[in-house]
Structure 1
Amino acid sequence: MFLIVTGTGTEIGKTAVTAAVAALAPGSTAVVKPAQTGVEPGEDGDLAQVRALTGPVTTVELGRYPEPLAPATAARRAGAEPVRPSAVADAARELAGTHDLVLIEGAGGLLVRFDDEGGTIADIASELEAPVLVVTHAGLGALNVAALTAEALRTRGLRCSGVVIGDWPREPDLATRCNLADLPEVSAAPLAGALPHGATASAAFRDIARTALAPELGGTFDAEAFRRAHIS
Structure 2
Amino acid sequence: MNHWPPARACFVTGTDTEVGKTRVSAALLHWMARQGWRSAGLKPVAAGTELIEGIHVNEDVRRLRLASSLPLSDAEVGPYQFEAACAPHIAAHLEGRSIERDVILQAARALAARADALVVEGVGGFCVPLGPDWDTADLAQQLGLPVMLVVGLRLGCINHALLTAEAVRARGLRLVGWIGNAIDPAMPWMTENIAYLRTRLAQQHGAPCLGLVPWLPSTDAAAVAAHLDDAALRAVFTA
**Distance (Å, rounded) in 2 between the aligned partners of 1:6 and 1:57:** 24
1:37 pairs with one of 32, 44, 47: 47
Aligned length: 214
1:143 pairs with one of 158, 181, 196: 158
The TM-score normalised by the length of structure 1 is 0.82
* 1:57–1:13 CA distance, 2 compared to 1 (3 A): farther
Q: What's the offset of the Cα at 1:170? A: 5.1
Verify the 8 A CA contact 1:16 1:166 in the aligned structure 2.
no
The gaps in structure 2 that reach 5 residues or longer are 1-5
Residue of structure 2 equivalent to 1:134: 149
Q: What's the offset of the Cα at 1:54? A: 5.9
Q: What's the offset of the Cα at 1:97? A: 1.2
Deviations 1:120-140 (A, max 9, x none): 2x2233223210001011122
Matched, 1:46 2:60: yes
**Distance (Å, rounded) in 1 between the aligned partners of 2:44 and 2:209:** 26
1:182 pairs with one of 187, 193, 196: 196
Residue of structure 2 equivalent to 1:154: 169
**Distance (Å, rounded) in 2 between the aligned partners of 1:145 and 1:21:** 22
Q: Structure 1 counterpart of 2:28, which letter?
A: V
Matched, 1:195 2:213: yes
**Distance (Å, rounded) in 2 between the aligned partners of 1:69 and 1:12:** 16
The TM-score normalised by the length of structure 2 is 0.80
**Distance (Å, rounded) in 2 between the aligned partners of 1:97 and 1:198:** 34
Cα RMSD for the two superposed structures = 2.4
Aligned with 1:108: secondary structure?
Answer: coil
Residue of structure 2 equivalent to 1:81: 98
**Distance (Å, rounded) in 1 between the aligned partners of 2:69 and 2:39:** 11
The gaps in structure 1 that reach 5 residues or longer are 220-232
Deviations 1:172-197 (A, max 9, x none): 521x2111111134433211111222
Q: What's the offset of the Cα at 1:169? A: 5.6
